[in-house]
Amino acid sequence: GQQLNQSPQSMFIQEGEDVSMNCTSSSIFNTWLWYKQDPGEGPVLLIALYKAGELTSNGRLTAQFGITRKDSFLNISASIPSDVGIYFCAGLRFGNEKLTFGTGTRLTIIP
């Protein structure tokens, strides 16, 4: 099955820095979702995007649904220690009741 290409695979940043990550696909998706997974736990939904071009914020997190419908972006501003974890994008097509996940971006904050 198809998987989404997510980059970067890992990031090492200092506290306070901004973070950007993206997700791309060769196919169109109708919904984009961003999840975060803390160590030892299941993923938790952060942001859901439903329209091409849509820009949605959740606190320090901002995500965008790409105009082409083949990509999505997640930005985290002023990172804090609790932002550490793995971030996954996921896409959904109408009529296909399956979520396709990206390979994940592991975020580490350097003291």
Site for another protein in 46-65 (CB under 8 A): 48, 50
Residue 27 near another protein by CB under 8 A: no
Place of tokens 């896409």: 91
Cβ proximity of 5 and 24 under 8 Å:
yes
State CA 3 to chain mean position distance. 14
DSSP single-letter state for residue 68: T
- In the bound state with another protein, the residue whose beta carbon lies nearer, of 45 and 67, is 45
Count of residues that interact with another protein, criterion CB under 8 A: 28
Q: Which of these ranges, 34-42, 54-62, 65-73, 75-83, lies near another protein under the rule CB under 8 A?
A: 34-42
How many alpha carbons lie under 13 Å from residue 7 in its C-beta half-sphere?
4
Residues at the interface with another protein (CB under 8 A): 1-4, 6, 9, 30-31, 40-45, 48, 50, 88, 90, 92, 94, 97-104
